[in-house]
């Protein structure tokens, strides 16, 4: 009997959004298990005390998780298992440069803008732990400050998205005629940004908006 892939996540994590969208793109059946941001006991148990972050993929007896900040182990596991066309050799190196920019320069703003409305995403029983974790990492009052700085952060994000708008001037996806890993990576950061419902993609980036619409629907079977 074929096992169903399980995605262990919390819903607004940009990296979980990437993993979920890749599974949707593949067309393979999967199930989602949500964990509370402050309770990683399931993750700790599944990974045999080697990892406590999300996402984690459970595929039968195989448990997959990242090994460092730039590893992309999960996406490469999906590529090997599901043949999604994410990592063609002609884009080796280029994708690595791009995903580092996406997961640092872009994500460094999108998560702050989403977290400005953390009380809408995080259940009341979890909010104290969420606040404590964020303030220990980013400083006291960080969430309140991000709320106050929304206009500035959004303006910075618009600027940092400009290269992607330019890339889409001659092709439907960031690198060529079909979505590669960096398309899904950027989609996940932007889906995190939009998660609260308080933001829209920058109006000036018209190509990026159309690309985002395509990325919401595209399936591997189309290629």
Within the chain, all domains assigned CATH 3.40.30.10 are found at: 5-82
What pLDDT score was predicted for residue 77?
A: 98
pLDDT in tens, 185-220: 999 999 999 999 999 999 999 999 999 999 999 999
Contacts 24+ apart (CB under 8 A), 24-31: 25/84, 25/179, 25/184, 25/218, 25/219, 25/220, 26/78, 26/82, 26/84, 26/220, 27/219, 27/220, 27/221, 28/82, 29/4, 29/5, 30/4, 30/5, 30/6, 31/4, 31/5, 31/6, 31/7
pLDDT in tens, 31-58: 999 999 999 999 999 999 999 999 999 9
What's domain 5-82's superfamily in CATH? Glutaredoxin (3.40.30.10)
Phi-psi region of 12 (alpha: psi -120 to 50; beta: other; left: phi over 0): alpha
The confidence band for 65, taking pLDDT boundaries of 50, 70 and 90, is very high
Identify the CATH assignment for 89-222 out of 3.30.70.20, 1.20.1050.10, 1.20.58.220, 1.10.645.10: 1.20.1050.10
What pLDDT score was predicted for residue 1?
A: 56
From edge to edge, which strands make up the β-sheet containing 5-9?
Answer: 30-34, 5-9, 56-59, 62-64
pLDDT in tens, 95-148: 999 999 999 999 999 999 999 999 999 999 999 999 999 999 999 999 999 999
Residue 8, strand partner residues: 33, 56
- For the chain, give the percent of residues with pLDDT over 70: 99
The confidence band for 69, taking pLDDT boundaries of 50, 70 and 90, is confident
């Amino acid at each position: 009997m074929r096992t169903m892939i399980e995605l262990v996540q919390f819903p607004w994590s940009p990296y979980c959004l990437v993993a979920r969208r890749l599974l949707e793109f593949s067309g393979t059946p999967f199930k989602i298990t949500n964990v509370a941001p402050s309770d990683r006991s399931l993750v700790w148990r599944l990974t045999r005390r080697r990892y406590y972050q999300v996402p984690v993929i459970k595929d039968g007896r195989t448990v997959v998780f990242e090994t460092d900040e730039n590893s992309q182990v999960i996406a490469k596991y999906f590529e090997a298992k599901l043949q999604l066309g994410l990592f063609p050799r002609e884009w080796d190196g280029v994708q690595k440069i791009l995903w580092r920019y996406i997961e640092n320069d872009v994500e460094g703003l999108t998560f702050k803008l989403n977290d400005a409305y953390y009380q809408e995403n995080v259940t009341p029983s979890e909010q104290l732990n969420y606040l404590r974790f964020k303030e220990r990492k980013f400083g006291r009052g960080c969430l309140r400050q991000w709320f106050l700085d929304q206009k500035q952060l959004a303006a910075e994000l618009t600027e940092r998205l400009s290269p992607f708008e330019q890339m889409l001037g001659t092709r439907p996806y960031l690198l060529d005629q079909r979505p590669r890993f960096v398309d899904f990576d950027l989609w996940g950061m932007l889906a995190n940004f939009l998660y609260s419902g308080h933001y829209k993609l920058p109006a000036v980036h018209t190509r990026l908006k159309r690309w985002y619409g395509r990325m919401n629907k595209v399936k591997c079977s189309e290629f």
